[in-house]
A and B are shown apart, each in its own frame.
Chain A
Amino acid sequence: MGVIETATNPWGQSVPIHIEFYLMWVAAIGGLAFLMVHAIYVQFVAAKAAHSAPVSPAIEARYPEKIKRHSLVARLFHWVMSIAMFALLITAFLPRMGYPFAWVTWHWIAGLVLTASVIFHIFHASFWMDFWSIWPDKIDIEDGKRRWLRATGKSAPEPRKFAKYPMENKMYHLIIVLAGLSVILTGVFMMKRVRTPFFTRNPYLFTDFTWGMMYVLHGLAGVGLIGLIMAHVYFALRPEKFDITKSMIGGSITRDHYLDHHDPERWVVETTK
């Protein structure tokens, strides 16, 4: 039982054709196991999250009750992308799970919606948002090490409060960028293999090996996204993260959450005074 399925092409070459489809179950079961282990760890093992000194009432009074975290445009992007992502996962894997339906057209339509939304996001984040706020910086890496050491019972200085995005958000974003761009880039090329109104079919655009690797990468990123989306939904529903989740709907987090978890010097927001 391998990871990649191969076939012999008309020229007698052994070429990859796609991933072995049991990997979708590996991703789903692996994702579920991670969620269960994490939930048990948080509930029974982990110490209460500790941050640096509490904020004085005077500082607290400088901030409005609601701190804006996501603009309407950013929220719309997130939800359009998530609908497209769910549509892609459903159309890709439900037929493989024994629920056949005409999935190809829906799949590439959802793929184009995802592609368009990601292109929009790249421009929006580059020119209208704080581009670097989502990428891990030196402090995140240092604090990540501190958290790990403290979680494993070793001594380390107390980690600082987060900037706009917690370290785990940044890491998740980084991984989803890699997986997302992999499925998008390979998926756009794979549209040359099916009938769409946009391209004339041309399965000879690349060599069989290149096409095969493209299908493999598309598949690996696709099954990876099963686990990633499971984790994302799980964390979004966790009580301690729910303030952040609500901000993706309403746009704001509470002042208490902001001052408890974020460093006003690393994430500067508008003050009332």
Chain B
Amino acid sequence: MAIIRDIMPAFELFQPATIGDALGLLDQHGSDAWVMAGGLDTFDWLKDRIKRPKVVIDLSQVGELRGIKEVNGGLEIGATTTLTEVVRNPLVKEKFSILSTGAELAASPQIRNQGTLGGNVSQDARCWYYRGGWKCYRAGGNICFADTPTAVNREHAILHADRCVAVNPSDSAPALIALEAQMVIRNVKGERVVNAEDYFVGPAINITHMTVLQPGDLLTAIRIPATWAGAQFYYEKVRDRQVWDFPLMNVASAMVVNGGNIEKIRIAVNAAAATPLRLKAVEDAVRGQPRNTATGEMAGKLAIVGAEPLRYNGYKVPLMRNLVKRAISGVEEPKWA
């Protein structure tokens, strides 16, 4: 396949100034429209000439989509708020530090300056077979090149694979799930709000999409309720290159501990499956248990039940077990012990 790289294909560019204008354009152009926020996912696709939308709707001029405001003790973060703005925001740091940690571990400073929170949660899979332009399941074909006897699949899924084995690469997504965040989606017909864990779609349901967004939809904001403000947080990301890289896996937990026992907890991992996974079974198992190494070990073993590693990603099973263990028990023990 001859791919002409680094040459932008022709498309019609719109730069709406309001959400209303953006929604009107999305409604007008439907599935022909490509929504661009920071452009970091978009330009890869376009310059590789693998995706060729007729229309690109650049959201950078829509001021309403940007900014962080306090709402009822929680936060509402505009979808095009940059990751750097999230990282530096004092309210996020003070109340929901798990999100600033997750956002700060995404990519590099330059990318965080340009990349948005909405883009980080909505970005496409990073499977290189898919990104390489091969007509795999996710691209509408009939094969997963990453799940063959000879495939290079070190970064791929160990859980919930269904034909496609790509993973969700977002660093902010597990933090948002742990914080019980809600995604505000608008289209010309109105607004709907979905829980963060329901925002993501696995290949079993829709193999060509990563999120519930349909043509005409726009993620406008992310709401974080006050529920977990000031809770005990844990976030850890493991990656090949510490300078900047997508996660091999990450984990985020929020918990309320009372008298040494876990009273309330939410925990999520990402890069283990095609969607960020909220570990409900783990939450149920550790609730009421002491926050210690024994509970963490039990939680880690429970988290990996059903894992089906591919040829080269077997390491992800103990990785997930240990990340969950540490997220539950805390950081008393040295990393990678």
Chain A positions near chain B (C-beta within 8 angstroms):
5, 7-10, 12, 17-18, 95, 100-104, 193-195, 201-204, 208, 211-212, 215
Contact = CB atoms under 8 A, between A and B. Distances in A.
Interface in B144-186: 144-145, 147-149, 161-163
22 contacts: A7-B141, A8-B135, A10-B134, A10-B145, A17-B142, A95-B206, A100-B206, A101-B205, A102-B162, A103-B204, A104-B162, A104-B204, A193-B142, A193-B143, A193-B163, A195-B161, A195-B308, A203-B143, A204-B148, A211-B142, A212-B142, A215-B142
Contacts of A103: 204
6 cross-chain pairs, A with B, having the tightest CB-CB distances, nearest first: A7-B135, A102-B204, A100-B206, A8-B1, A100-B205, A17-B142
Given A12-B1, A204-B148, A18 B142 contact: yes
A262 B210 CA distance: 59
Secondary structure at the B interface, as helix, strand, loop or mixed, is loop
A95 B1 CA distance: 30
A102 B162 CA distance: 9
Nearest to B201: A100
Contacts of A208: 143
Contacts of A100: 201, 205-206
A201 B135 contact: no
Contacts of B145: 10
A203 B149 CA distance: 8
A100 to B, nearest CB: 5
Contacts, number: 48
Contact of A202 (B149, B161, B205): B149
| Interface bin, chain B | 20 to 34
Nearest to B136: A7
Given A100-B205, A103-B204, 16 more contacts: A7-B141, A8-B135, A9-B135, A10-B145, A17-B141, A17-B142, A18-B142, A100-B201, A101-B205, A102-B205, A195-B161, A203-B144, A203-B147, A204-B148, A211-B142, A215-B142
Contacts of A102: 162, 204-205
B313 to A, nearest CB: 15
Contacts of A9: 134-135
Interface in B286-308: 308
Contacts of B163: 104, 193-194
Interface in B307-337: 308
A111 to B, nearest CB: 15
Nearest to A101: B205
Contacts of B144: 203
A204 B149 contact: yes
A9 B140 CA distance: 13
Contacts of B142: 17-18, 193, 211-212, 215
Given A10-B134, A17-B141, A195-B161, A201 B205 contact: no
Contacts of A12: 1
Contacts of A10: 134, 145
Given A104-B162, A104-B204, A194-B163, A203 B148 contact: yes
